[in-house]
Structure 1
Amino acid sequence: MSSSQRFLDRLGLQLPIIQAPMAGVSTPNLAAAVSNAGGLGSLAIGAGSVAQARQMIEDTRALTDGPFNVNVFCHAPAARDAGREAAWLAHLAPLFAELGAAVPAELEEIYRTFLGDEAVFELLLEQRPAVVSFHFGLPTQQQIAALRQAGIYTLATATSVREAALIEQAGVDAIVAQGVEAGGHRGVFDPQAQDERHSTSVLLRLLTGRTTLPLIAAGGIMDGQGIRAALDLGAVATQLGTAFVLCPESSANASYRANLKSERATATRLTSVLSGRLARGMLNRLIEHGEAPGSPPPAAYPVAYDVAKQLNAAASQHGDSEFAAQWAGQGAPLAREMDAAQLVLTLANEMAA
């Protein structure tokens, strides 16, 4: 039996296809549709309250008997720096003025970290989703052990050999090997550390033979041919995000969808301007303004995200989406518009061709 088949059997999957847990885009309907089609659907609960997380899990469970993944953010709490935040607000002030909006008087750490969040930890132990995944780092080994003891399969994102080693040492079940092509936030543990920005294929080859854990390829995979190539390079499964954004079950808004179907999709940028951490999205005015020569560094994550969201909210009142975080990977021009079940079937047919 192949390592990929062992992985699929362990989770009760038919296909080596995981829908990425995209905060703000993935929904119970999307996760359930992917799981019902034989893949692994995913929810991202790091951007909401405990009550919202509970509701998302319960809604997904009502729509599928299949396994699904619940993802949490394990970032270090923001290092608040009043001077840095003031400089960033001053830099963005002309954009707020252009929209007739006031510059925020104060900023909040809008996304809680799973680290030390006992309420979310207890929720996961209570709800026992088939899979729990970690992004931006790891919780304690005791929490990982408790989740596994509860019968939950665990995943964690690695962008480097060093992070993969830490994941294995912590007792996590499998590694999501995230290449630099991926849309959304890079899962680096330490944003201040050197980042080699390995491609998905290079990262897979570096990790194959260096870890005993199953590898899930993530980044730039948009079709069945890409899935097959990743499996040939040593992955047991693949994680696709941008490929699912155009599905009607996702919560992407009309502007996001229109841009992903346009020439805008050919220009993605890895930037910390939008949130304070490196993330890949379609180029827009906020990114250009924030990366202009002489720009100060953004506020820390997720404080900078609070500013960007407030700016986007003001712009949205004018029908302007030039300040929205529209995450997309380098494979964005290959995105296809079809319902999630049909996309999974299409991917499976391409993979087998």
Structure 2
Amino acid sequence: MSEQGGLGSIGVGATDAAGARGMIEETRARTNNAFNVNVFVHGRAIADPITEAAWLDWLAPVFTEFEAEPPTALQTIYKSFADDPDMLAMLLALAPPVVSFHFGLPSSDIITLLRDRGIVLMATATSLDEARAIESAGIDAVVAQGIEAGGHRGAFDPVAPDDALGTVALTRLLVLKTKLPVIAAGGIMDGAGIAAVLDLGAVAAQLGTAFIACLESAADEGYRAALRGPGAYHTSLTSLISGRPARALANRFTGLAAAIGNCQPPDYPIAYNAGKALHAAAKAKGEYGFGAHWAGQGAPLVREMSAADLVQVLRTELQNCRSAD
């Protein structure tokens, strides 16, 4: 991505400071161009042994189907950037060109430290209120994440009412109601989509799902097969996999929502501990339908090629749209 003039992004929310350091150093060895490091700034997980035990009991029959036992207890497997001084120290030492925040914002002190190292800062907003908080915090740019977007919804408070604004409405709202450069995200899969959000006033578009099928993607064959299948036409927001709303391809895991009743998943990322264990058990038996197959509503428009080729195709499509105008 970066070598072709885009802003490649690496997500380090699921690793520790040492793992993130390795990813950043490997990226720097491959490109002299700018890239983004994305961190998760979620609230501290609240352990609830009763809820967690009930969740494991509810999932137990599915584990049994694959001749496996659910975990005896669940752990908080990911640390929030807000509570991770080692991750902060590593970012300050390596000073990647761009750092972006998802799920919220770190403290003003952390933001100041990162800015003082010359790091460009971005943050995800799903509403105008979140965007205004991002603007007040001194962040350089806002990512307008529409409801169409794949993966975890970036809402600051996952239990607060969600207006579920689409990419078009949210992008235009933030362009007109804030002074921040706006990067549109959600359901954008081709050059025509990029042209559309640029016409709305965005300075750039962020694409994720469009690159899942690329040759360099770490998506396994089960994920790729699901992306090519009928589930791509029926993505849904679900909290079952991780404990926090995220848009995924329709699969056996998302299908469990029909039978959930009054049972509720534990807090994020505690629920993810169970979700990952279930996926591993099913995958060992050749069933890929319990993977975290994150994808946006534009999933059926995915194309299989190298990331470099896709960037070139997107650029050509965008230029063609501009020429048509």
Which interval holds the TM-score relative to the shorter structure? Answer: over 0.9
Q: TM-score, normalised by structure 2?
A: 0.97
1:220 aligns with 2:187: yes
Q: CA deviation at 1:293?
A: 5.2
Three-state SS of the structure 1 residue aligned to 2:123 is strand
Sequence identity percentage: 55
* Equivalent residue runs for 1:225-264 within 5 Å: 225-264=192-231
Q: 1:87 aligns with which of 54, 57, 62?
A: 54
Q: Is the 8 A contact 2:53 2:73 kept in 1?
A: no
Render the CA deviation track for 1:283-330: whole Å, top value 9, x for unaligned.
111222244251411111001110010011111110111111100100
Q: CA deviation at 1:82?
A: 1.2
Q: 1:118 aligns with which of 79, 82, 85?
A: 85
Q: 1:304 aligns to what?
A: 271
Distance 2:162 2:261 in 1: 23
Render the CA deviation track for 1:187-212: whole Å, top value 9, x for unaligned.
00001111101000010121122111
Q: Is the 8 A contact 1:91 1:295 kept in 2?
A: no
Q: CA deviation at 1:263?
A: 2.1
* Equivalent residue runs for 1:10-25 within 5 Å: none
Q: 2:293 aligns to what?
A: 326
* Equivalent residue runs for 1:1-353 within 5 Å: 34-292=1-259, 294-353=261-320
Three-state SS of the structure 2 residue aligned to 1:208 is helix
Q: Is the 8 A contact 1:247 1:337 kept in 2?
A: yes
Number of residue pairs matched by the alignment: 320
Q: CA deviation at 1:88?
A: 1.0
Q: CA deviation at 1:261?
A: 1.6
Distance 1:136 1:81 in 2: 21
Q: What's the RMSD between the two structures over aligned residues?
A: 0.9
Aligned letter for 1:68? Answer: F
Three-state SS of the structure 2 residue aligned to 1:195 is coil
Q: Which runs of 5+ in 1 are unaligned?
A: 1-33
Distance 1:337 1:258 in 2: 12
Q: CA deviation at 1:264?
A: 2.2
Render the CA deviation track for 1:148-197: whole Å, top value 9, x for unaligned.
11110000000000000100111110000000000000000001111101
Distance 1:293 1:121, change over 3 A: closer
Render the CA deviation track for 1:236-265: whole Å, top value 9, x for unaligned.
001000000011111000111111122221
Distance 1:138 1:337 in 2: 35
Q: CA deviation at 1:84?
A: 1.0
Q: TM-score, normalised by structure 1?
A: 0.89
Q: Which runs of 5+ in 2 are unaligned?
A: 321-325
Distance 2:163 2:54 in 1: 29
Distance 1:56 1:241 in 2: 18
Distance 1:293 1:242 in 2: 28
